């Protein structure tokens, strides 16, 4: 450690210049040399001579000393101080601080408070002696703690592995060991303490704002509002709620508004033992409510030692509007929007419009109107409000392009316009500003599952979604959440894990018509028994003979077994269902239908469906296009072309496990097995999948998603 506290005028001048530029993280050796009218080499040499350390180390130590001063003299959070002294990364600031002083900024502030209390009680403490002793104790404690953490980390890896690869009953409470849970929070519905029940919308708005501010901090896992709403009038204890939501901390709050005064009570509770960690009461005028909400988020983050980046602080500090009346209309609109009924949506639009009348640049109000129009048009063939949706989304982006709501609104426009690929960049950018936005995560999961297939991203977002929506409001919703996760897992080759979650889906809703359907294929992924799959799918088909999805899957099992007679029976039933309902599903299956007709001697029908397959190929821009083209070449008896196409496909990432499971089961592949390059190319496809599978597993563990 260099000593810069007792030096001459040169060092004092250098320190002064650094302090003048302390918040500029780009201020380094070159900038200091320029200001001191010295060459970089002369500066390095002179600082080295006088401090026995490097110039960059000297600058860093000035920043750290200023940080210590601010800890003593201000009430700023550690994150705010790190930003003020030129550290863009809060974690790096804490590391450097610990290396320099021997303990963390949080521990330093605690020592400062304790010393102040000693002095107030008249205890005489020699400062130098206290600091020296504290540093030595901290170093020893840190060393021992570090070894323990390494051991705990090893145990944690084993626990996570057990949670992933073994049935839940063998590892009760394993999820408690998830490292990500340490900074996990649920914001419970706030209580309305006003005598006027009409103020409930305002109190709910305070809760929503607290939740939204915390969601902007990536280092904290924040449970969605949907998941906590069921606890509004619950009799359950704090510990029980924490267990159900799988979080360490709960936030309780109550609000009261009288005239232009707002009284807000908030406390942060350790869910494991129902112990308050931090509590505060705020009594402010209504126009000060934004600063209060922002301060609450920072205090909570500091209390649980979460890392808050400067960019996140900037997002938290943003005021949605300067106009209190506009904000009041906005909160009323949010309350109306909760119903999602046609009447509620139109009422919400009216209230958001009133907010805009008060503040014509109110970005959040524009975004919410766009979202209302999305819901008014959703699932309708004729889109009545598409232009309005786009107009309000654009206005929202115009006034705040860094709001996740503005970005979501624009993404919803593209989704309603069936331009799914164009929606994705807006959604992924929205997560940059709100990493805990559960609605965005679920939309992305769905898009990558169906509209823009990417098995890896599908699983990543499905896993993140289940962490943010850990406790749905009803058993039917839970069943679909677990169904979605099991589907994402099996698509990526996690067949055993998919089996566990498909059972959870069945447990919550045994009548879920899609769960048993998927379970049959997950069973096949585990046992590779095509006969068993065919029998199970026949049972499913008999439950509802009008379902196009099961009918074509049953036909396919006969096709794979080269039972073309039975395959044709069910393919014709499938074609009839499509014709009756005037729909066109699974265009990729037209090749199998064509080949079945061809093998049964119906060449005219075969030609019709192979042409439909060619039409599909012309529009196919998915990662499967080369594999689909290879099948056409096999149909045309062009093995060299098929090998070439499969070779190109072997470089693709993110394709589904079903490719591996059924690729060589297809009868058309038999003609290719004698090709000299067959084994090599097929192995390349398999190797590509498993390499990506292992990389994905590692990535998911790093992100604490498994």
CA 32/CA 20 separation, integer angstroms: 11
Least reliable range by pLDDT among 329-338, 416-425, 463-472: 463-472
Superfamily for 9-125? Homeodomain-like (1.10.10.60)
> Which pLDDT value is given to residue 166?
32
Least reliable range by pLDDT among 205-209, 367-371, 620-624: 205-209
Average pLDDT over residues 507-532: 92
Residue 133's pLDDT band, with cuts at 50, 70 and 90, is: very low
Q: Could you tell me if 228 and 186 are in contact, meaning their C-beta atoms sit under 8 angstroms apart?
A: yes
Q: Which of 327, 417, 575 is nearest to 567 (CA)?
A: 575
- pLDDT at position 301 over 70: yes
The tokens for 310 are 């400067």
- In sequence order, the 6+-apart residues with CB closer than 8 A to the CB of 425 are none
> Domain 325-434 classified CATH 1.25.40.10?
yes
Sole residue written with tokens 């009288």: 258
Choose between 495 and 129: higher pLDDT. Answer: 495
Domain boundaries defined on the chain:
9-125, 182-319, 325-434
Q: Could you tell me if 214 and 187 are in contact, meaning their C-beta atoms sit under 8 angstroms apart?
A: yes
The tokens for 486 are 């099991």
Residue 75's pLDDT band, with cuts at 50, 70 and 90, is: confident
The tokens for 309 are 């980046």
Choose between 478 and 594: higher pLDDT. Answer: 594
- pLDDT at position 531 over 90: yes
> Which pLDDT value is given to residue 228?
83
Q: What angle do CA 156, 160, 162 make, to 5 degrees?
A: 115
CA distances from 295 to 102, 182, 209, 330, 605 (A): 29, 22, 12, 21, 70
CA 464/CA 706 separation, integer angstroms: 9
Q: Which of 557, 577, 581, 576 is nearest to 567 (CA)?
A: 557
Burial class (CB in 10 A: 0-12, 13-18, 19+), 634: buried
CA 219/CA 214 separation, integer angstroms: 10
Instruction: Give me the half-sphere count of Cα atoms (radius 13 Å) on the Cβ side of residue 355.
Output: 28
> Which pLDDT value is given to residue 76?
81
Average pLDDT over residues 440-462: 87
> Domain 182-319 classified CATH 2.60.40.740?
no
In this predicted model, what pLDDT tens digit does every residue of 620-668 receive, in sequence order? 888 899 999 999 999 999 999 999 999 999 999 889 999 999 999 999 9
Sole residue written with tokens 């069910």: 570
**pLDDT > 90: percent of the chain:** 38
Average pLDDT over residues 372-395: 89
Residue 553's pLDDT band, with cuts at 50, 70 and 90, is: very high
Q: Could you tell me if 121 and 113 are in contact, meaning their C-beta atoms sit under 8 angstroms apart?
A: no
> Which pLDDT value is given to residue 418?
85
- In sequence order, the 6+-apart residues with CB closer than 8 A to the CB of 205 are 330, 331, 334, 335
> Which pLDDT value is given to residue 259?
73
> Which pLDDT value is given to residue 101?
84
Helix boundaries (H) for 266-419: 289-303, 310-317, 324-337, 342-358, 363-377, 386-399, 404-416
> Which pLDDT value is given to residue 244?
84
> Which pLDDT value is given to residue 143?
31
Q: Indicate the pTM of the whole model.
A: 0.60
DSSP states along 615-649: HHHHH--STTHHHHHHHHHHHTT-HHHHHHHHHHH
């Amino acid at each position: 450690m260099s000593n810069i506290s007792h030096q001459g005028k040169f060092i004092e001048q250098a320190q002064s210049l650094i302090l003048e530029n302390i918040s500029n993280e780009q201020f380094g050796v070159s900038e200091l040399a320029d200001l001191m009218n010295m060459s970089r080499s002369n500066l390095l040499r002179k600082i080295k001579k006088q401090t026995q350390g490097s110039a960059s180390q000297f600058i860093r130590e000035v920043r750290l000393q200023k940080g210590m001063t601010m800890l003593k003299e201000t009430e700023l959070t550690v994150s705010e101080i790190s930003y003020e002294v030129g550290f863009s990364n809060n974690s790096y600031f804490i590391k450097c601080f610990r290396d320099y002083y021997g303990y963390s900024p949080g521990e330093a502030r605690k020592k400062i408070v304790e010393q102040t209390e000693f002095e107030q009680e008249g205890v005489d403490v020699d400062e130098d002696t206290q600091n020296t002793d504290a540093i030595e104790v901290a170093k020893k404690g840190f060393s021992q703690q570090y070894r323990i953490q390494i051991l705990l980390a090893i145990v944690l890896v084993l626990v996570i592995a057990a949670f992933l690869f073994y049935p839940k009953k063998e590892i009760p409470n394993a999820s408690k060991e998830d490292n990500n849970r340490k900074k996990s929070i649920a914001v419970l519905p706030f209580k309305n303490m006003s005598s006027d029940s009409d103020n409930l919308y305002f109190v709910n708005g305070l809760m929503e704002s607290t939740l939204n501010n915390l969601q902007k901090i990536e280092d904290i896992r924040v449970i969605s509002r949907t998941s906590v709403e069921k606890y509004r009038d619950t009799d359950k204890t704090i510990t029980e709620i924490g267990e159900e939501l799988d979080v360490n901390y709960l936030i309780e709050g109550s609000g009261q508004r009288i005239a232009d005064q707002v009284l807000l009570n908030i406390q942060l509770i350790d869910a494991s033992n129902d112990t308050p960690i931090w509590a505060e009461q705020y009594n402010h005028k209504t126009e000060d409510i934004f600063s209060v909400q922002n301060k609450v988020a920072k205090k909570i983050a500091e209390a649980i030692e979460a890392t808050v980046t400067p960019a996140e602080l900037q997002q938290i500090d943003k005021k949605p509007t300067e106009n209190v009346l506009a904000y009041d209309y906005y909160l009323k609109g949010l309350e109306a929007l909760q119903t999602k009924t046609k009447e509620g949506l139109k009422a919400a639009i009216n209230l958001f419009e009133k907010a805009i009348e008060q503040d014509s640049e109110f970005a959040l109000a524009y975004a919410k109107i766009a979202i209302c129009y999305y819901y008014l048009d959703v699932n309708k063939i004729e889109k009545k409000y598409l232009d309005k949706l786009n107009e309000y989304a654009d206005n929202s982006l115009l006034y705040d392009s860094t709001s996740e709501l503005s970005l979501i609104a624009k993404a919803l426009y593209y989704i309603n316009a069936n331009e799914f690929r164009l929606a994705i960049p807006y959604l992924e950018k929205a997560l940059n500003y709100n990493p805990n936005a559960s609605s965005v995560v679920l939309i992305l999961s769905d898009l990558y599952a169906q509209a823009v297939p990417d098995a890896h991203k599908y699983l990543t977002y499905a896993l993140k979604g289940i962490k943010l929506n850990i406790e749905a409001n009803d058993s039917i919703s839970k069943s679909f959440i677990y169904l979605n996760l099991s589907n994402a897992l099996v698509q990526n080759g996690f067949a055993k894990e998919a089996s566990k979650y498909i059972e959870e889906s069945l447990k919550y809703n045994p009548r879920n018509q899609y769960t048993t359907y998927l379970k049959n294929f997950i069973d096949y992924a585990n046992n590779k028994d095509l006969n068993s799959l065919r029998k199970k799918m026949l049972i499913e088909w008999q439950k509802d003979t009008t379902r196009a999805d099961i009918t074509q899957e049953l036909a396919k099992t006969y096709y794979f077994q080269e039972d073309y007679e039975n395959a044709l029976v069910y393919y014709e039933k499938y074609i009839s269902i499509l014709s009756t309902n005037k729909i066109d599903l699974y265009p990729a299956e037209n090749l199998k239908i064509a080949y079945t007709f061809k093998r049964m001697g119906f060449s005219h029908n075969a030609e019709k469906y192979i042409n439909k397959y060619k039409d599909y190929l012309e529009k196919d821009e998915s990662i499967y296009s080369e594999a689909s083209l290879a099948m056409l070449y096999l149909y045309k008896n062009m093995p060299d072309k098929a090998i070439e196409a499969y070779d190109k496909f072997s470089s693709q990432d993110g394709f589904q496990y079903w490719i591996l499971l059924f690729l060589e089961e297809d009868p058309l592949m038999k003609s290719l097995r004698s090709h000299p390059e067959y084994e090599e190319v097929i192995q390349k496809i398999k190797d590509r999948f498993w390499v990506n599978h292992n990389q994905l597993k590692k990535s998911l563990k790093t992100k604490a998603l498994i």
